[in-house]
Amino acid sequence: MVEECTCEASEVLLFPCSGGSNCGQIANQVAVQLTEGNVGKMYCLAGIGAHESVMLDTTRAARRVVAIDGCTVACARKTIEHAGLTVTDWICVTDEGISKTHEFKLALEEIGLIIRRTRESLAKPLGVSG
């Protein structure tokens, strides 16, 4: 059984890469659905890339900063780190066995798998990986 994260949703910021591939869009859908489920709050990766000060401050204050990347290029994680912020949780869609394509017919079971992986990561205390 997966333990639930004890952080408030507003303390958990979700940054999908939202890339131009099935995997990038799976990441996006995962962030949307976890936000709708009140697990966290989808936040603006582009705003971090633009170094918008309010968004940087909000992200710095979050307890969990979750990068959900479509593939190992890890654009979301790198964007956050380049802004001098710390990623506490990193999820990579292709690492879960989903192949990257440039089709946008997203499989519900693949979205569900990445949602479960993100929840599992959030259920772990900070600093515990694997």
Q: Which of 12, 48, 75, 111 binds ligand SF4 (CB under 6 A)?
A: 75
Our finding on whether 23 is near ligand SF4 (CB under 6 A) is yes
Distances (CA, A) of 12 to 22, 92, 95, 102, 109: 24, 17, 22, 29, 24
Only one of the segments 13-21, 58-66, 80-88, 101-109 lies at the binding site for ligand SF4 (rule: CB under 6 A); that segment is 13-21
Tokens of 32: 């949307």
- Radius of gyration of the chain, Cα coordinates, nearest whole angstrom: 14
Our finding on whether 21 is near ligand SF4 (CB under 6 A) is yes
Judged by DSSP in three states, 92 sits in strand
Distances (CA, A) of 64 to 15, 17, 109: 11, 17, 25
**Binders of ligand SF4 among 38-67, rule CB under 6 A?**
none
Tokens of 73: 């290029």
Only one of the segments 70-78, 81-89, 103-111, 115-123 lies at the binding site for ligand SF4 (rule: CB under 6 A); that segment is 70-78
Indicate the residue among 2 and 104 with the shorter CB distance to ligand SF4.
Answer: 104
Which residues in this chain contact ligand SF4 in the complex, by CB under 6 A? Answer: 17, 19, 21, 23-24, 69-71, 73-75
